[in-house]
């Protein structure tokens, strides 16, 4: 799922499947309401609507019969609203792990640590800048996936634990299956899952690090991705996401910077997004926070700005998030503004 979750670990159904192995089934459902008032206002950029999402996760883990290696495999069935595309491109994986060295080989999509998933160290909980700024006039410069979407593509990845410092990752995708310009062609495997022929879509890779560097309360995110050519485009697609988050007592601070270029153009047009967040845990169940974000693009005169206040409340098996946001100069267009209220209920089982 391409969103940060405000839930704890899900309790699941455990099914025996051989010695030292188990299968679990967990799930989640979301109901979200968005209300937007935009300037300039049109019928498509101001209004109110509900959105729903359901997801069921199947996971299996155990031991291989060689080398004492661990394995884990699974997939998810996810429906975003009334989804017309595949329901099976979320959290699909086969992981082989050497526990003694902390090394994992992963054949997966939407599974390992990665650049997308609305990852931002400043987005401490609740809605991300890309969610708060979408749906109004002129689109948005803010994104959940800066650069090539390697994490949302079928890839082979290597992950390595680095002691108490964190985890390194490298993922390689022969073709980016999440790019809509290529969906349905043989290069993505959508039309033929086994007899593939490569088109003009080139391979991509992503390197990443997530960890505390041995400092209590600190989380560091660092990701870099690159694709030589996206479809028939002549410009390399590149992305970068750097972030720091620090928690002390009830207070958490976060800052992040995203830079990317994935334009269908002959000239490199870089977009840069900065996020700043602060949250305070009022109690074990109630958290409040403020989020500020800006975005600018090479060929756009104005800087897009977003400021939001959020409240999160833990109701046990259900989590509630409410956010109020103000957007200025959306997509860098002077005077293109919006006010937004978003409410989400998340139920886990």
Q: Which range is least confidently modeled, 91-100, 104-113, 175-184, 242-251?
A: 175-184
Predicted confidence at residue 42, as pLDDT, reads 67
Upper half-sphere CA count for residue 328 (Cβ side, 13 Å) = 9
Tokens of 327: 């957007």
The DSSP H or E segment spanning 184 is none
- 181: pLDDT confidence band, cut at 50, 70 and 90? very low
Predicted confidence at residue 148, as pLDDT, reads 87
- 20: pLDDT confidence band, cut at 50, 70 and 90? low
The single residue listed with the structure tokens 């033929």 is: 192
- Strand-pairing partners, residue 13, are 25
- 264: pLDDT confidence band, cut at 50, 70 and 90? low
Predicted confidence at residue 34, as pLDDT, reads 93
**Is the CATH number of domain 13-348 3.30.479.30?**
no
Cα 214-215-220 angle, rounded to 5 deg: 85
- 139: pLDDT confidence band, cut at 50, 70 and 90? confident
DSSP character string of 39-53: ES--TTTSEEEEEEE
Burial (CB count <10 Å: 0-12, 13-18, 19+), residue 5: middle
Closest CA to 339 of 37, 113, 33, 120: 37
For the stretch 122-138, pLDDT in tens is: 999 999 999 999 887 87
For the stretch 71-115, pLDDT in tens is: 999 999 988 877 767 787 789 999 999 999 999 999 999 999 998
Q: Does the pLDDT at position 2 exceed 80?
A: no
Question: How large a percentage of the chain has pLDDT more than 70?
Answer: 83
Residues 228-254 have a mean pLDDT of 88
Predicted confidence at residue 231, as pLDDT, reads 65
Tokens of 29: 């459902």
The domain ranges of the chain are 13-348
Upper half-sphere CA count for residue 271 (Cβ side, 13 Å) = 23
Residues 28-33 have a mean pLDDT of 94
């Amino acid at each position: 799922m391409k969103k940060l979750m405000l839930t704890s670990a899900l309790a699941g159904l455990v099914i025996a499947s051989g010695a030292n192995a188990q299968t679990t089934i967990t799930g989640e459902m979301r109901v979200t309401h968005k209300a937007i008032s935009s300037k300039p206002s049109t019928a498509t950029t101001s209004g109110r609507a509900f959105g729903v999402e359901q997801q069921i996760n199947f996971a299996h883990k155990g031991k291989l019969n060689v080398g004492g290696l661990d394995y884990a495999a699974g997939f998810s069935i996810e429906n975003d609203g009334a989804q017309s595309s595949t329901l099976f491109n979320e959290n699909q994986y086969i992981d082989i792990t050497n526990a003694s060295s902390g090394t994992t080989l992963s054949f997966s999509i939407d599974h390992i640590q990665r650049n997308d998933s609305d990852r931002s160290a400043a987005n401490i909980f609740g809605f991300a800048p890309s969610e708060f700024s979408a749906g109004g006039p002129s689109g948005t410069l803010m994104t959940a996936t800066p650069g090539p979407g390697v994490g949302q593509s079928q890839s082979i990845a290597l992950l390595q634990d680095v002691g108490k410092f964190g985890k390194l990752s490298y993922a390689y995708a022969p073709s980016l299956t999440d790019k809509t310009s290529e969906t349905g062609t043989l290069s993505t495997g959508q039309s033929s899952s086994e007899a593939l022929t490569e088109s003009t879509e080139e391979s991509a890779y992503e390197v990443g690090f997530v960890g505390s560097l041995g400092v209590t309360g600190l989380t560091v995110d660092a990701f870099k991705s690159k694709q030589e050519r996206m479809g028939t485009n002549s410009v390399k697609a590149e992305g970068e996401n750097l972030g720091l988050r620090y928690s002390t007592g009830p207070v958490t601070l976060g800052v992040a910077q995203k830079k990317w270029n994935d334009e269908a153009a002959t000239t490199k047009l870089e977009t840069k997004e900065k996020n700043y967040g602060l949250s305070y845990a009022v109690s074990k169940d109630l958290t409040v926070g403020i989020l500020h974000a800006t975005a600018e693009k090479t060929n756009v005169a104005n800087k897009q700005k977003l400021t939001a206040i959020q409240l999160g409340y833990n109701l046990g098996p259900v989590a509630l998030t409410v956010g109020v946001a103000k957007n200025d100069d959306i997509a860098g267009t002077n005077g293109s503004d919006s006010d937004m209220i978003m409410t989400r209920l998340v139920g886990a089982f």
